Amino acid sequence: MSKTVEDLVVLGSGPAGYTAAIYAARAGLNPLVVAGAIDAGGALMTTTDVENFPGFPEGVQGPDLMAKMQAQAEKFGARVEFDDASAVDFSGETFKITLYDRVVEAKSVIISTGSAYRHMNVPGEDLLSGRGVSYCATCDGFFFKGKELAVVGGGDSAMEEALFLTRFAAKVTIVHRRDELRASKVMADRAMANDKIEFAWDSVVTEVLGKDGVEGLALKNTKTGEVSELPVQGVFVAIGHDPRSDLFKGQLDLTPGGYIVVDEPGTLTSRPGIFAAGDVVDDTYRQAITAAGTGCRAALDAQRYLEGLE
């Protein structure tokens, strides 16, 4: 494999990665962004209306926002490659990152790999994934016209999924393990006001039913233990995310939940020269704007680190 040495490699894209790339490129660091082969742009690529990102009073489509961030980074000299890192070695003076066709060496790295959809881990979920089980309403909602669907979760993302699905579905049932939502008031109010949305409170999914496609959900009441079946033709899982940090196990300090440990308020990890930003660090806020803020901090931290090497 051929090798090149970069001043800075940004692993991952999304608001954190692209913001880091914008700041680093403007500082003359000519960063290489390994944006991901499939998940480039992060979670916002599967988000419809983003109404809370500053500067867009009318809202903006998630993919459009990420396209603008990418274009802005490239305008200032960032290089974006749609590839995935398959291995990293942070033990040497320079850091080695294995891509599809080569190994890249870097003096500094910003990790912004984000998080992945969390699974329910119940019988039938994996078997019927792609055959009625989905984790992205904007990706798959169109295929469920006139169907009765379920959304599992109680946060903002679950409400957004449910509201989007009402464009296609005959009915959407939100399954939530408690008797009140975790979602923000505005999102909860929108869901409760929608005539197509019903709620299965105090309920958890114990099995996804069906052979060739989803036919229903087996539910258990968290208070009474009563079991029931909810007949649906599709289920959309929106119960949170897990940090994409498996690649860094044994290389960096992680929390018990798998988030990369950084030296707050900075972004330095347990390894000098390695910085982390966005949802792979943040288990509290997980917002596009907070991810972008940490991406800015990571770029500034990396710039200072590189200046110290000179």
Beta-strand relationship, 203-209 and 197-200: unpaired
Please give the pLDDT value at position 164. 95
| Phi, psi for 275 (deg, rounded to 5) | -125, 155
Q: Which of 87, 104, 8, 102 is nearest to 251 (CA)?
A: 87
Count of CB atoms situated within 10 Å of the CB of 178: 12
Structure tokens at 17: 């990665």
Q: Where are the beta strands (DSSP E) in the chain?
A: 3-11, 32-34, 49-50, 60-61, 79-81, 87-89, 95-98, 103-111, 115-117, 133-134, 148-152, 171-175, 197-200, 203-209, 216-221, 227-230, 234-237, 241-243, 274-276
Helix (H) or strand (E) holding 257: none
148 in Cβ contact with 170 (< 8 Å):
yes
Please give the pLDDT value at position 130. 85
- Interatomic CA distance for residues 216 and 201, integer angstroms: 17
Please give the pLDDT value at position 4. 66
- Interatomic CA distance for residues 9 and 1, integer angstroms: 18
Q: Which of 66, 63, 60, 77 is nearest to 6 (CA)?
A: 77
199-211 pLDDT tens trace: 999 999 999 999 9
Please give the pLDDT value at position 44. 80
259-309 pLDDT tens trace: 999 999 999 999 999 999 999 999 888 789 999 999 999 999 999 999 999
88 in Cβ contact with 96 (< 8 Å):
yes
- Interatomic CA distance for residues 97 and 89, integer angstroms: 7
The structure's pTM equals 0.78
104 in Cβ contact with 4 (< 8 Å):
yes
Please, what are the averages of pLDDT over each run of 10 residues along the chain (310 residues)?
A: 79 96 98 91 75 90 93 97 96 95 95 92 94 87 95 95 96 97 95 98 98 97 97 96 94 96 97 97 88 97 94
Torsion angle (degrees, nearest 10) of CA 76, 81, 91, 275? 40
Please give the pLDDT value at position 3. 54
Q: Which residues pair with 80 in a beta bridge?
A: 33
What type of residue is 129?
S
- Interatomic CA distance for residues 295 and 69, integer angstroms: 12
Pick left, alpha or beta for residue 121 (phi over 0 → left; psi -120 to 50 → alpha; otherwise beta). left
Please give the pLDDT value at position 1. 46
> What positions carry a catalytic annotation?
136, 139-140
End-to-end CA gap in the chain: 28
Q: How far is CA 110 from the centre of its chain?
A: 17
Rounded to the nearest 5 degrees, what angle is found at the Cα of 282, between the Cα atoms of 158 and 99?
Answer: 100
Please give the pLDDT value at position 49. 73
Report in angstroms the alpha-carbon separations of 5 from 88, 144, 305. Answer: 14, 48, 16
- Interatomic CA distance for residues 9 and 105, integer angstroms: 9
